[in-house]
């Protein structure tokens, strides 16, 4: 088995694609360009998250406390910095943000992944940060599973996630109802793919490629499937993409694309910072009088560029400082 999920090139490349897709989606939404398919980057991230959590803990001795400590050190510091900076900018320049709530209640709630609920959805200070609330919810469930043997851990995760979703419609309007949304099954899909990938299971190359193509086609036709829940509209497509990609790579390998690998490494910073950096870039472009038609692509490019600067200057140094010690492997 590979030592690190980062060595699975297809996962790295899909992380990059997912992050950049979300950037395009938010810029498109601002300028009314209708690139709604970009929102599916979130669903790709959720499936990848389930995959990574299983791969990085499979065959290792790790307590729930160790697991949560590592996830918190990976996710929280950057998110808190982004939340603080975003809140300050919103207060200073509220006209640049739409429907954002930097109140003390929402600020504190956002820091602890329990932001205000509006229209049956989470609305943190960092608008795209709602996905991190679902990530942390999944991590909590996953951490409990680490108390069990590998097979029982897998069964527990599947049953827990399915039962939570089944209970969704019966729950009162609250955090419990919001967190029980069907999209959490996308984490389960990632776990299933990872369990297959870490076993002796194989998929012939041509079938794996067909699965990837099928996932891509489903994403393309999703514009006409607006009545479906996102777990069906985008989650199934995301799962097919990742299933096909990792097994195609197992059979034939993947090309070395240094830029995509770097963007995959930087995907968290791209995701966390892109809305704020897009606001900064937009303000600069408007001040210097850039024509309106040129704004969307320039905002995307500028937002990505500044987000990568945040990765290099903030996230990467912090990761070096908080790099955990090696985890013991379960004896064979």
* pLDDT classification of 4: cutoffs 50, 70, 90: low
Q: 262, 213 in Cβ contact below 8 A?
A: no
Task: Determine the 3-state secondary structure of 126 from DSSP.
Answer: coil
Contacts of residue 116, Cβ cutoff 8 Å, sequence gap at least 6: 101, 105, 106, 109, 122, 123, 124
Q: What is the pLDDT of residue 307?
A: 97
Could you report the per-residue pLDDT of 92-115, keeping only the tens digit for each?
A: 888 777 778 899 999 999 999 999
Within 8 A by CB and 6+ apart from 94, the residues are: 100
Residue 324 pLDDT: 56
pLDDT, residue 1, reads 42
- The residue extents of the domains of the chain are 5-321
Q: What is the pLDDT, as a whole number, of residue 124?
A: 96
Helices and strands counted in the chain (H then E):
15, 2
Higher pLDDT, 155 or 2: 155
Helix segments in 199-315, DSSP class H: 205-221, 230, 236-252, 258-265, 267-287, 295-310
Which residues make beta-bridge pairs with 329? Answer: 60
* Tokens (6 digits) for 272: 């966390």
**Higher local confidence (pLDDT), 94 or 13:** 13
- Percentages (nearest 5) of helix, strand, coil residues in the chain: 75, 0, 20
What is residue 332's predicted lDDT score, i.e. its pLDDT?
35
Tokens (6 digits) for 287:
């001040």
Q: Torsion-angle region of residue 174: left (phi > 0), alpha (psi -120 to 50) or beta? A: beta
Per-residue pLDDT tens for 127-181?
A: 999 999 999 999 999 999 999 999 999 999 999 999 999 998 787 778 889 999 9
């Amino acid at each position: 088995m590979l030592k690190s999920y980062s060595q699975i090139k297809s996962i790295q490349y899909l992380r990059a694609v997912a992050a950049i897709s979300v950037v395009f989606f938010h810029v498109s939404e601002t300028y009314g360009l209708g690139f709604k398919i970009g929102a599916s980057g979130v669903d790709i991230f959720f499936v990848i998250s389930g995959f990574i959590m299983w791969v990085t803990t499979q065959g290792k001795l790790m307590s729930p406390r160790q697991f949560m400590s590592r996830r918190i050190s990976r996710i929280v510091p950057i998110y808190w910095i982004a939340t603080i900076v975003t809140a300050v900018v919103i207060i200073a320049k509220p006209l640049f943000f739409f429907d954002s709530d930097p109140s003390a209640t929402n600020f504190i709630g956002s820091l602890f992944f329990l932001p205000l609920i509006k229209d049956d959805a989470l609305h943190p200070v960092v608008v795209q940060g709602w996905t991190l609330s679902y990530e942390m919810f999944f991590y909590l469930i996953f951490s409990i599973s680490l108390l069990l043997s590998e097979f029982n851990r897998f069964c527990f995760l599947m049953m827990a996630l399915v039962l939570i979703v089944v209970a969704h419609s019966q729950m009162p309007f609250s955090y419990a109802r919001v967190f029980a949304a069907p999209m959490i099954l996308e984490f389960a899909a990632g776990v299933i793919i990872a369990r297959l990938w870490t076993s002796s299971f194989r998929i012939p190359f041509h079938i794996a490629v067909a699965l990837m193509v099928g996932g891509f086609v489903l994403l393309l036709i999703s514009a006409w499937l607006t009545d479906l829940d996102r777990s069906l509209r985008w989650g199934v497509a995301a799962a097919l993409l990742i299933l096909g990609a990792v097994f195609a790579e197992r059979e034939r390998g993947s090309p070395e694309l240094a830029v995509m690998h770097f963007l995959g490494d930087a995907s968290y910073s791209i995701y966390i910072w892109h809305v704020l950096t897009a606001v900064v870039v937009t303000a600069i472009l408007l001040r210097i009088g850039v024509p309106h038609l040129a704004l969307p692509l320039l905002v995307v490019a500028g937002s990505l560029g500044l987000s990568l600067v945040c990765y290099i200057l903030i996230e990467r140094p912090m990761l070096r400082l908080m790099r955990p010690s090696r985890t013991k492997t379960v004896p064979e």
